[in-house]
Structure 1
Amino acid sequence: MSAKNESSIWSRVPMKKNLRWKAALILVIVAGCTWSFYPPNEKIKLGLDLKGGIHLIMKVNTIDALNAVTDELVDNLERVLDDESIAFGNIEKVEPGKLVVSGLEANRGGEFRTIIDNGYPAWDVRSLGASDFELEMRSTELALLQEDTVTQAIETIRRRVDALGVAEPVIAPHGDRGSQILVQLPGFDDVARAKDIIKSTAKLELKIARSMALSEDQLTGGLPLPPGTEIVPGVADEAGNKMYYLLERTPVITGRDLKNASSGIDNQTNRPDIGFTLKPEAAARFQTATRENLGQMLAIVLDGSVISAPTIEGVIYDRGQITGNYTTEEAYDLALKLRSGALPASLEYQQELTVGPSLGADSIRSGITASLVGLATVLLFMILYYRLSGLNAVVALLLNLLILVGALAYFSATLTLPGIAGVILTIGMGVDANVLIFERIKEEMRAGKTPRTAISAGFGKAFRPIFDANFTSLVAAAILFQFGTGPIQGFAVTLSIGLLSNMFTAIFVSRFIFDAVLGGRRQVEALSI
């Protein structure tokens, strides 16, 4: 097409030159929003209340992490003091985050303080006498440990949930106490399995076992435990009986040393088992430990219980096997948990809610019905009351909804039942802006102004009230999002997007329609409003 022909075509379009870029902008937004949410079944994420699934709120027992850190410090100090040839009587954990070193060798207190200051800066040292010292974790480090524990728990849970194949899960901090986690699993209905996979600490340790017996007394003979050892119970059998094991306290391998873990079938027993491979540095350590302990038992400790203790019959390098009375699903889930890593602390369930898929479908149906009825009623009123100008409001309102849905899809926002309520509220607020503009135009026309002048004045005078109303509503929505829970946040998100799109459609698009329709006429005597 030649430039001359193109120019002649544009000259016949009843549109001012500055309307062309507005038309192009509106078309781009319409196309972009349509592309964002199409197909809607794939692009629009549904919340738990619409899709069905599991809602869990749990508390992270951060005291467990503090306990573990304190125990680790006790072990490390015993080793360091021995390496430095500093004699001591005892190192005792008084409570989580606090321990006492007693009977320290005379005149070695300064060296001890230097060891703590240089190697363990998170701990304060206080003298209890000439040879006794108290160590306590600093308050700032304690707060950081609690925060890190919750963060690690969230990441571990996320890895486990992702391995389950749950689409669009929600795993996030919850509440203002800093130790709660919210987990939502849309479309997942096996509550017992979900809780087991999420809550299980899955702390794996492989330790050398010195002996085993039917009771703790038989293991110790009434004598104190040998240094560096501990007693760990085994898993009870079907009759409720269990063995007790005397283990070396320091593990040969932990769950952090695993390179991979997968479920399979044991060739000898034809029962499900879990095979694992080790990282290179752990494999070398494992090889040395098994070579030095041939004929001894290797206890496999999971979450504080010995699940099996096979005899080391040969040197093992980088592979191992965990056997037990597992079903196929249990073996798969245990391998999943081992791959995901151990939780840094135990979890305590505080709230549980299951939403069935049928209830979610009913909610969607009811929400869509309410939205359509509300939309149809509003559109009918606008056309009957404002006549042809009402069609202007109809176009603006439909575009408002298109932008709202497109934005939800583009930003991967989750649509919830309260979110549908936000859509319905957006319809009302969008019409409210058009009503305010139209009434202003009618007032200007009654004052004797021409339609074009009345339209310009009406939009100008209505802008400030519309802006103020939408701005204050946005502030309220921001507060709801900041301090509300999931459903309230869903309402706030939908309302915020609706308010912003309402400003665009009611003021920009509606004014464009008036200017486009009236732009080609030299004189406009009347306006259908």
Structure 2
Amino acid sequence: MRGRSIKVTILVLIILALSILSLAFTEIDVNVPGVGKFQRGSIGPLGLKLGLDLQGGAHLVYQAEVGTNITATVPGPANEDDISSEINKLNIESYTAIVTALDEDTVQIRGPLLADSERQQIRNVLQELYGPITDENNFKVIDNTAPSADQMTGALDIIARRVNAIGTDEPLVQKFGDDRIIVQLPGASGTVINVEFVDSADYSAINETLRLAGYDDYDIDQKSDTKYRIKTNSLSLLKQESLANDLRDSIGDYKTFDITGGIEAAKSLIGNTASLEFKLRDCTDNFCETYRDSDLGLTGDDLQEAYASTNSTTGEWAVNIQFDSRGADIFSDLTKDIVNDSSKRIAVFLDSDLLTDPVARAWIRDGRSQITGSFTRESAQTLAIQLQSGRLPVPLTLIQESEVDALLGSKSLEMSLIAGSIGLLLIILFMIVYYRLSGLVASISLIFYGVVVLAIFKLIPVTLTLPHL
């Protein structure tokens, strides 16, 4: 009997010790034999994950786009203002054109649904401004009618898949009305950068680099001589890349540069139509600052798989892609013609935004290829998600975006934790004074229970929201 009590006591002490250790470190990153990497932790107290109402985040509202979308390539350099001005002079009832330049000579014209005669009027305007458009592929028209319930459900599923791949804590994706989708991303109101340098990095040097780069509101948390966590306001993808280059130039090379959060990053992953296209880019200079893109008939529908991995030889991050039989044939013909020709690139577009434009280094005959470059783990995974997640069945327009403040706020949350701790101490004191030894045992049990429960919440992990508290 006594031996059994000793075993139970040892087991309890081991559980308590493991629980305390899991809470003592904000981040857990260990290699478990046979399992792989085990990573836990967040920016909340004790590394616990907090929901949108406790830590704030991004709130995005998308609406299904209804109207006529015209993509036109004109003979000369296109000017958005000139085209918009001339089209809006036309006698088309209740029509206002939104003109966006996609490149030097290609524009996108969006507006309400148009009749055939009204489309011809717009084509005539473009021809009067820039000359004849003889190729029908240079004047593409897509009519977006009101979406069906099935289309909205499909769009909801694809966006949910993209959002879940971002890795935010307890994201919310739901349909609102007949044609809107709400996306809430806890923690996306700011950008968190985890960087590990090859050599020791000085805190003051990092601080000076951020200051010279024009950052005002940021926080640097030193994890070790080489590991740092930098928290800033939401950064666009361009600013993220710029900061990575600034740190490399001023501090030194880094092993990892992982980014989470940021409204711009979330919007880029979700996309508007999630229409993926591969085009041939002909560069007219060594730096490919001027170019012309041409259609290949290769789209996201031809892509079977895309995933991030490390190169077995160099250890660098890359994106692997696999086309179906139709896509493999097109890709084979393309790479055969342009292999090792630096003036010709494969431009990949998502919603008309350039994702990447690699040069073909080999003739790819089986539809399997690998995109390499200066990828971090985060950027490789992001590109793979953008390539893999599929095409939305209905185009969406972002009609509202906002950063949501935590309902309690960081200061209020801190004060609540202090108040809770004081309350717990008073309860323990009362129990010990009134019940003496029994009260002491009960108090120890209460603390033990609380520590173990918080450790379980962190290790599963469980996302804490205001109702949980």
If the length of structure 2 is used for normalisation, what is the TM-score? 0.42
More strand by share: 2
More helix by share: 1
Work out which of the two has the higher radius of gyration on C-alpha atoms and give 1 or 2: 1
